[in-house]
Structures are given as structure tokens and as C-alpha cells.
Amino acid sequence: MKYEHWQIPAAPEDAIKTLMDAGYPYLVSSVLAARGVTTSEQAAEALEREKTLAYSPFLMKDMDKAVARISKALENGEKLAVFGDYDVDGITSTCLLTDYLRSRGADVTMHIPRRIEEGYGLGCDAIRALSESGVTLIVTVDCGITGVDETAYAATLGVDLVITDHHECHDELPEAEAVIDCKQAGDTYPFDSLAGVGVAFKLICALDGDTDAMLDRYADLVALGTVADVMPIVGENRILVAEGLQRMERTRNIGLQRLLAEAGMAERHLTASTISFVLAPRINAAGRMRMDENDENASPSGGHAAVELLIEGNESIAAEFGNVIDAYNQDRKSIDRSVTQEAHDFIERNPAMKELKSTVIYNPKWMKGIVGIVASRLIETYYRPTVVLTMSNGFVTGSARSVPGFDLYQAVESCSDLLENFGGHMYAAGLTMRPENVEEFTRRFNAYVEENIDPQMLMPQVDIDSELLFSDITPAFRKDLNRFQPFGPGNTAPVFATYGVSNHGDAKLVGMECEHLRMDLIQRQKPNTKIQSIAFQQPTHYEWVRSGRPIDVCYQIVENHYRGTVTTQLRIKDIKPVMNR
């Protein structure tokens, strides 16, 4: 992405001095001060994360009711079902709760909806099928908060529901045995940004009573779902992700071991980026891709294959599921590139569309499973709230994505009278409507964005924490930076700027489509020091860089761990050629 503005804060010298007096090095103090940290107490909170979860799960509204109903089912030998979702958060939630209940001797089945045929959330057909199989209690994970009609239908079949979710709530809630969602009115749990898997984890902690044991057993799955769902890495999420990453490096989960090996990450140092860019896309691909309709032995859903992988205890069977998921991922890459190009070409052919402050684009032939990816890709190019729609089972359905600062959920909710259903949160949403409502939805959504978005939100901006010389990037400084981890929304990796650097002719384009720029960079102040750098999706300046002409760069500092050796690499976020300096 090309950033129109580099935001470099004025150095708050008083705060920097206070932090240095407290014993923090100058550069660490500069980063902390740039993020609004002004006292030693705030600095300790930012760098010295807790290792235990302080909040009782019973602080969540209805947790006592959920535990009572599930405990009754366990005591009476009822058949249970865990009803999840086909994204990574839903899949990890399903695995975690199913595995725990089975360890308690429960007769439990699991259901992951087929994205194409069933769509997101509770469905009456699935509830009826579960009831016919003998299920008397369904526990939802990462879904269900909008399932008012479906919960009422289940009651007519004698099936109880316990809802656990983390999405935004509508005014009317399902009349279930228990509804656990920290965003519902009247809930006073101190932290409302858990992922679906985080809520499911809190449920098993309440059922078991030993949070530390549950953390040791399931933290890797909780971290995987939390990071993949782009939840803020603050509060309890920061503890869960940090603990989960540590355990993931030595995970006992055979499916995770297989995924890491397939990705070349076995026995490697893992970070939140490993989940975001390596593991999550592979798991998501299973839920996104259509099953082979001509294969009568195919799994009931692609997401089901991912669940089976992560819950499987047999290495050879896990390997089979791992191969299936890898094939899905390869197919997904090809299809999403093709559809993204189609969408881009359509927008470029329609000048009036390019002038809008939002994008709503519809093509009935696009695969439902990849429209969310395409929406994210279009934001990288046009940087504005985006809705990508397609046709599925007679309805128009799609995904919406937003830019920082703009509440997408409210924009979609403003058109709720045109929608059959919708759900999501501030930066991502899913929606379904009748085909005849597409034109009016497009008009009203665009009008809402036009009236409510701050023009500054439409300008890609990168926030710089501090200016650096390459000579500042020492092993000691890298170690200090690692204290800020894990990184993610709410605790982003520090971004630095260095000016007047250059490459001495060894820059090269890499990637399947030569879309990434790899180079060694040097700075005039220390010309004998080279730093390896990679600029993803930034081939534009290749000729300029390779010629040795000066550039300014902003970047994140990352460590590559391989066979006991640690090397520094700059992950370039933006490049600005120096014209006259």
C-alpha cells in the first residue's frame, strides 16, 4: 500500500526524560512516549505483561446458567453438539470445546456450516438434523447471537441452546438457556474484546475450575483463533496470545504440528505474524473453498476438515487432513487472485465508481468463500469501506471490510431493513439480501459512508514511532523491542523511519509474480553496514532502488530465527524516492 502521509510525532522530551530516569533506554523511551506512555507505571504495564488471567469467567452474564445446563447434560448422558463457524476463530472454538467435553466423557458431535450451502450461523436445517441424530443440547461458539428464530425453532424440537459469541448484539437476543456475549446489555465482564475462541475458553475454565491447567492445554488454539480474527492484542488477549505462542512452539496438538511442518515453521520461533500470514490462511482456505460436489465421500464441509485436523490424535490421519487443507489453500490463492483482478478491472472501467468514498461491487458468479479476501484486497488499492457481493442459494450474500476509524457495522446496520440477516463488528461484517435489494442497498450504503466518514480516514497514513539510524539497530535494541510483543491491533509493531538510504545494485523482485522487492540497504552515516530488507507488494520502485539512488524508508524490525541463528530484517512498509535533497 502506498501511504500518502507519514505521521511522525514531535518527540515528547519530558516524557522521554521521565522514562529514562526510570531506567528505560532512550530509544525504548522514545517509542513508549510516542504511544502516549508518560509514567514508569504505564511503561511497566506496556512491557511487563501479566502471565495469569485475573478475571473469573463467572463475571460474564449467564455463565452460571451455561455451566449448570452443560453440567446437567454431562451428568445425564445427553448427546451434545458444538455448533461453530467456518473461519479460524470458529474452527478453533469448536475444536477446543469439543475436545474438552469429550475428555469429560460427553457424547458430543460438532457442526461446521458449509459456507456455500448454509452460510454463517445457526440454521434450522442443521438444527433439525442434529435433533434427529439425538442431540438435546447445542452449544454455539463464535456464532448464535442473532439466531432468535433458530433458537425458537430448536425449542419446538425439544433442543436447548447455550449461546457463546463475541459479535455485536441486536436489540433482541435469542431465548436460550444461556447467552454469553460480553457485548450484550447488562454484561459487566471487565474485558469485552475476546475472540469467539476466547469466550469458549472462558466457558471451559468455568466448567473445569482450573484455569492454569486449561491455559496450558489450550492456549495454542486460543492464540491461533484470537490473532486470526484480528482481535486487539491488549488485556486478556495479550496474555492468551503470548502464552499460546510459547506453547505452540512445543505444541502437543498433532494437527498444529502438521500445519507448522507443511509451512516450514516446525521448530522455528513463532510470532503473531506466523499465525496471520502462515497458519490462518491455510485453515481459512478449508472453510472458504467448495467441496467436491461429485464426491459422495467428501467431508460435510471444508471447515470440518480443518476441525478434524486440529482435533485428530493419529499422525497418519492428521497428515491426510493436512494434505487436503494444503490443496484447498493452493486453490484459494489462484481463485482470489483472479476474482480480485476482475473486481479491480470493473472499478477501473467505471470512473463514477472510482470517485465514491466507498465500494459496493456485485458479481453473481464469484465464489462466496473468497469475497472477504477480495474486499480486503480492494481496500489495499482504493482504501475505503468495501462490500463485495455474490449470489448463493438464491440470495445475494457478501462480506464487508473497513478502514481504520470507520464503524462498518453501523453502516451496514443503517440498511438493515433491506437485509435478510447481517452480523459482525466495527471493521468486518457479513450480510445477506434479496437480489432486488442490491441496487437500493448500494445507494444507501454509499450515501451513509459519504455522510459519516471523516475524509482523513480515506487517506492511508502510517504512524512512525521514531526516526532511527541503522547503527541504532543493535542486538540490545532488538531485545528491548521484543518486550512489546506480541503485536497486533491495539499493540502494533513499532514503525521506524530512516532517511537517505540506498541499495548497491543487488535489489531483486521475488515472488510468484515478482510482486515483492528484496534488497540490502545501507546508510551514508555507516556505509559498511548492510541490512536485509523486504518490501511486500511494492515492486514499483525497483528500477530506482536498484540504480543506487537514495530513498527514505519506513519499516518494522523483525528477527529471523533459523537453526539457532538470529538475523535482522527490515519489513518495509513504504518507500519514498529522494528527488532533491
Q: Which three cell numbers stand for residue 390?
A: 455474490
Among the residue ranges 204-213, 214-223, 492-501, 523-532, the one predicted with the least confidence is 523-532
The dihedral region occupied by 77, where left means phi > 0, alpha psi between -120 and 50, and beta the remainder, is: left
What's the distance, CA 541 to chain centroid? 30
Write the Ramachandran bin of 548: left for phi over 0, alpha for psi from -120 to 50, otherwise beta: left
Supply the pLDDT for residue 181: 97
More confident residue, 1 or 396: 396
Which pLDDT score is estimated for 320? 80
Output 160 or 332, whichever has higher pLDDT.
Answer: 160
* Residue 293, pLDDT score: 39
For range 69-74, the mean pLDDT: 98
For 66-79, b/e burial (b = at least 16 CB within 10 A) is bbebbeebbeeebb
Q: Say if residue 289's pLDDT is above 70.
A: no
C-alpha cell at 40: 514508569
Most confident of 234-243, 264-273, 525-534: 234-243
Cα→Cα distances 38→8, 13, 31, 191, Å: 18, 10, 11, 24
In angstroms, the CA 311 to CA 280 distance is 16
Mean pLDDT of 565-574: 91
Lowest mean pLDDT among 261-265, 344-348, 552-556: 261-265
168 vs 70: which has the higher pLDDT? 70
What is the mean predicted confidence (pLDDT) over 211-227?
96
d(CA 408, CA 453) in angstroms, rounded, equals: 10
Residue 287 — very low, low, confident or very high, per pLDDT cuts 50/70/90? Answer: low
Residue 191 banded pLDDT, cuts 50, 70, 90:
very high
pLDDT at 297: 44
Give me the helices (H) in 133-279, please.
148-156, 196-208, 211-228, 235-248, 254-262, 272-274
Note the pLDDT of residue 22.
93
Q: What is the three-class DSSP state of 7?
A: strand
Q: What angle do CA 12, 16, 18 make, to 5 degrees?
A: 120
Express each pLDDT in 481-536 by its tens digit: 999 999 999 899 999 999 999 998 899 999 988 999 999 999 977 666 789 999 99
293 Cβ partners below 8 Å, 6+ apart? none
Question: Looking at the chain, how many residues does it have?
Answer: 581
Contact assessment for residue 471 and residue 526, using Cβ atoms and an 8 Å cutoff? yes
- Cis amide prior to 539 (ω within 30 degrees): no
What's the whole-number mean pLDDT along residues 208-231? 96
CB 421 within 8 A of CB 387: no
Cβ atoms within 10 Å, residue 17: 13
Is the pLDDT at 295 greater than 70? The verdict is no
- How many degrees, rounded to 5, is the angle at CA 82 between CA 78 and CA 87? 175
Helices (H) and strands (E) in the chain — how many of each? Answer: 21, 19
Evaluate if residue 26 carries a pLDDT over 60.
Answer: yes
pLDDT at 418: 97
* Gap between the Cα atoms of 111 and 82, Å rounded: 6
Judge whether residue 444 has pLDDT over 50: yes
Cα 418 to chain centroid, rounded:
28
Residue 316: how many other CB atoms lie within 10 Å: 8
| C-alpha cell, 567 | 538475523
Say how far apart CA 371 and CA 539 lie, in whole Å: 25
Give the list of residues 6+ apart from residue 436 with CB closer than 8 angstroms, or none: none
**pLDDT score recorded for residue 316:** 82
Q: Of residues 174 and 288, which shows the higher confidence score? A: 174
Task: Report the chain's terminal Cα–Cα distance, integer Å.
Answer: 24
Distance CA 357, CA 455 (A): 9
**Of 264-273, 434-443, 499-508, 569-578, minimum mean pLDDT range:** 264-273
- Helix, strand, or coil here: 135? strand
Between residues 120 and 482, which one has the greater pLDDT? 482
Please state the rounded mean pLDDT for residues 251-256: 91
145, 236, 228, 241: which is closest to 191 by C-alpha? 236
The Cα–Cα gap between 439 and 442 comes to 5
Q: Considering only CA atoms, which of 56, 98, 237, 83 is closest in space to residue 145?
A: 83
What is the pLDDT, as a whole number, of residue 288?
Answer: 65
pLDDT cut 70: percent of the chain above it: 95
User: At 116, is the pLDDT very low, low, confident or very high (cuts 50, 70, 90)?
Assistant: low
Q: How many whole angstroms from its chain centre is CA 309?
A: 20
All cell numbers assigned to 328: 484447498
Look at residue 268 in the predicted model and tell me its pLDDT: 83
Q: How would DSSP label each residue in 482-514?
A: HTTPSPBTTBPPP-EEEEEEE--S--EEESTTS
pTM of the predicted model as reported, rounded to 2 decimal places: 0.85
Chain centroid to Cα 207, Å, comes to: 27
What phi-psi label fits residue 119: left (phi over 0), alpha (psi between -120 and 50 degrees) or beta?
A: left
Written as one string, the DSSP assignment of 218-235 is HHHHHHHHHHHTT---SH
Q: What is the spatial distance between Cα 202 and Cα 196, in angstroms, rounded to a whole number? A: 10
CB 495 within 8 A of CB 555: yes
Q: What pLDDT does 294 receive?
A: 38
Mean pLDDT for 312-338 is 80
Do the Cβ atoms of 221 and 244 come closer than 8 Å?
A: yes
Mean pLDDT on 310-339 = 81
Cα–Cα distance, 18 to 29 (Å, whole number): 9
Is residue 194 a contact partner of residue 203, using CB atoms and an 8 Å limit?
no
Q: Assess whether pLDDT exceeds 60 at residue 296.
A: no
Q: How far are the Cα atoms of 50, 68, 170, 204 from residue 412, in angstroms, in the given order?
A: 37, 36, 13, 33
